[in-house]
């Protein structure tokens, strides 16, 4: 999620945290868990909350980056939104704008 929210490809992300792209790919596919060194590299490189990274959200707000705090539902929405094609993303944005305008 951190890589996708930052719009970084696997090669660049892996390089920033000191692992190979192949290792990152396997981590993203949940083939195994990251080492503590990898976790600490992610925390250092992206200012990620270590508790969130290790255990997931504990409350309604998750600090993902030093400058961006998102709620758990927002993070879930972003993960799903990123999987959509651009026209579908545009449709979702238009729907959200419509809902907001009704308030």
Report the pLDDT value the prediction gives residue 50, as an integer from 0 to 100: 83
pLDDT band at 29 (very low <50, low <70, confident <90, very high): very high
Residue in this structure with the two tokens 């060194």, named with its chain if needed: 37
Q: What is the pTM of this model?
A: 0.55
> Is CATH 3.40.640.10 the classification given to domain 2-101?
no
* SS3 category, 63: strand
Report the pLDDT value the prediction gives residue 10, as an integer from 0 to 100: 95
pLDDT at residue 1 is higher than 50: yes
Terminal Cα-to-Cα distance of the chain (whole angstroms):
31
Strands 61-63 and 69-71: antiparallel
Distance between CA atoms of residues 10 and 58, nearest Å = 28
Report the pLDDT value the prediction gives residue 66, as an integer from 0 to 100: 47
Report the pLDDT value the prediction gives residue 79, as an integer from 0 to 100: 81
Residue in this structure with the two tokens 């539902």, named with its chain if needed: 73
Report the pLDDT value the prediction gives residue 58, as an integer from 0 to 100: 54
Each domain of the chain, given as residue ranges in start order, spans 2-101
Cβ–Cβ < 8 Å for 49, 68: no
Q: What are phi and psi of 70, to 5 degrees?
A: -125, 145
Report which of residues 16 and 56 the model is more confident about.
16
**pLDDT tens readout for residues 35-91:** 999 999 999 998 888 887 887 755 544 444 444 566 778 878 888 888 889 999 999
What torsion, rounded to 10 degrees, do the Cα atoms 29, 72, 69, 58 define? -90
């Amino acid at each position: 999620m951190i890589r996708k929210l930052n719009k970084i490809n696997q090669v660049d992300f892996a390089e920033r945290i000191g692992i190979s792209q192949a290792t990152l790919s396997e981590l993203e596919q949940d083939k195994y868990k990251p080492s503590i060194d990898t976790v600490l590299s992610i925390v250092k490189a992206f200012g990620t909350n270590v508790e969130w990274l290790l255990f997931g959200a504990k409350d309604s707000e998750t600090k993902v980056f030093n400058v961006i705090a998102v709620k758990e539902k927002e993070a879930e929405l972003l993960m799903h939104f990123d999987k959509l094609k651009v026209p579908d993303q545009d449709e979702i944005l238009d729907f959200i704008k419509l809902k907001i305008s009704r308030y």
